[in-house]
Each structure stands twice: as C-alpha cells, then as structure tokens.
Amino acid sequence: MKAVTLNTLKDWKAAGEKFSVITCYDAAFSQRINEAEIDVMLIGDSLGMVLQGHDSTLPVTLDDMVYHTRAVKAGNSRSLIMADLPFMSDPSQEALLNNAAALMRAGAHLVKIEGDAWLAPGITELTRRGIPVCAHLGLTPQTVNQLGGYKVQGRGEAGQPLVEAAQKLEAAGASLLLLECVPSEVGKAVTEAVNCPVIGIGAGPHTDGQVLVLHDLLGITPGKVAKFVKNFMQEADSIPAALSAYHHAVKNGHFPSEEHCFK
Ligand code: KIV
C-alpha cells in the first residue's frame, strides 16, 4: 500500500476524490486503521475526553500528545499522521515552534492547531521550518468556555468571515484546513474558496475529507453523542469491519448524509 502524503490529498482534491480521516491514540488501533486503508490518522486532543474522561480537551498536555503520537506512529505505515497542538501551545512563537517540533519528532507528518485568521503568522513560521500545518476552524473545542458550549458556528452572517479566515490561513501556508460544526453551505463555500484540502466534521458532505472520533464511530463514547456522529458498529460485526465501512462510506460520498448535517 502506497503511503498517503499531503501531495496525495492535494491530488485527490483536484480530482474530486474524497478521503477518510479518523482519530487514533494507540498502536493497536493504528494497525487496524492502517489495514482498513483509512487515509489520515489524527492524534486528537479529544483523547482528553475519550481516554482521560475529562469534560473538555483543556487538561491535555504536550507530553500526553507526544506519548500518544509515538504509539500511533509505531503501529502504522500508510496513513498520513497528524497530531494536535494542545490548549495554549502558542503562548509565544518560540514555544509554538518547540511544541510543534516535539510532535514531529514523535512521528507526526503535520500538526493541527485551533484558531482563526490570527494563527497566520505562526503558520508561516512553522511552514518555513518544514512543519506542515492544518488549521482547525469553526467550532474550536479548546475555546469552549469562550464559545459558551459546543455549538454550531458560522450561521447566517458569521459564515463569510469563516470563508475569509480560511483564505488567509491558506495564504499564510496552511496545507490543510479542518472545519468543525458549521452549516453544510459554509462547508461548501470554504471548500470551494481554497485550493488546499478541507476536512469536515459536522460540516456537511461537500468537504474534501471527513473525520470522526474513533470512539464515536465505534459507539463507545462516554456521554452524549453529537448530531454529526454515525455509529458504524450498528451495521458491522467487528471493529475492522466498522472501520472499513466508514472508509468506504466517506470515499463513496455516502457519509455524511443529511441527518448528520447542520442547515
Ligand atoms: O481532537 C480531535 O479529535 C479533533 C476532531 C474533533 C477533529 O480535533
């Protein structure tokens, strides 16, 4: 199996081919995800909620992210590996560069950072030093306290600023964008406004890639599940079969369907 790179994702976007992304936190799942041919693995700071049992991602540390990135890297050979910069990873430009470097040394091929257009200078510095970046926009869980909850973003007049922020971040050097919890029309507008691939979660069917949290997809999430989640274990008789069903549903454009989208 040929390894997936950022160039693969760009070629797929140009050709209109969708790609699958899933969160992963350890070597055993990394191997199963590799076997299911899922294209990108995200070591998400969602591990603070699904592994550590916190009610937000804020307690996750850089050491946690490095530990889990090493474990995922050890189990995988094909998927592109993306690791989250946790809450307050960029109190200064120097700290941002050092924290991102730690994730790359642990095995990430690129880092993901949450924010908005203000991320642009940091993204430019990272990419200048050979660290590709995915900018996470829309619902940014690390700012849940400021947002007042895990709510849909970009509704009505708030849609256009998201499109503009996406363009600024691409111009600053972002290789990928991730859009969380926005109306499908905003997902479409952002995807069409930039050349880099856009990954969606609760952002409708038009984004180039789709991501789900592993535990959501397997139906073992502690607590309430979001509207955009589909439990693929309901139609599968094993974990490998559920992972494979997710991958094919994304590739064929069958997931997400309307019931998983916001208007
Ligand atoms: O941390 C994470 O798992 C994420 C996904 C929700 C996209 O950022």
Q: What is the pLDDT of residues 181-222, one digit of tens each?
A: 999 999 999 999 999 999 999 999 999 999 999 999 999 987
What pLDDT does residue 134 have? 98
Residue 180 CA, closest ligand 1 atom number: 7
User: What is the spatial distance between Cα 81 and Cα 88, in angstroms, rounded to a whole number?
Assistant: 21
Nearest residue to 243 (alpha-carbon basis) of 204, 215, 221: 215
In the chain, the percentage of residues whose pLDDT exceeds 70 is 100
Is 33 within 8 Å of 76 (Cβ atoms)? yes
Of the candidates 157, 180, 185, 192, the residue annotated as catalytic is 180
Q: Mean of the pLDDT values across residues 248-263?
A: 96
Assess whether 180 carries a catalytic annotation. yes
| Number of the ligand 1 atom closest to the C-alpha atom of 199 | 7
Tell me the HSE value of 134 on the side-chain side, using a 13 A CA sphere: 31
Task: Point out the ligand 1 atom lying closest to the alpha carbon of residue 23.
Answer: 3
Q: Which of 48, 41, 80 is nearest to 63 (CA)?
A: 48
How far, in Å, from the CA of 225 to the mean position of ligand 1? 14
pTM: 0.97
Q: Average pLDDT, stretch 102-126?
A: 97
Angle between helices 93-105 and 120-128 (to 10 degrees): 50
C-alpha of residue 113 to centroid of ligand 1, in Å = 10
State yes or no: pLDDT of 5 exceeds 90: yes
CA–CA dist 136, 200 (Å, integer): 10
Report CA 38 to chain centroid distance, whole Å.
13
| pLDDT value of position 156 | 95
Structure-token match 């708030």, residue found: 158
For the cut 80, the answer to whether the pLDDT of residue 242 exceeds it is yes
- Which pLDDT score, from 0 to 100, does residue 198 have? 98
What is the Å distance from ligand 1's center to 211 Cα?
8
Residue 239: per-residue pLDDT: 98
Q: Which of 118, 107, 115 is nearest to 88 (CA)?
A: 115
Q: What is the pLDDT of residues 140-193, one digit of tens each?
A: 999 999 999 999 999 999 999 999 999 999 999 999 999 999 999 999 999 999
C-alpha 11 to ligand 1 mean position (Å): 24
Residue 112 has pLDDT above 80, yes or no: yes
Report the nearest-CA residue for atom 2 of ligand 1. 44
Pocket of ligand 1 (CB under 6 A): 23, 42, 44-46, 84, 178, 180, 201, 211, 213
pLDDT for position 223? 78
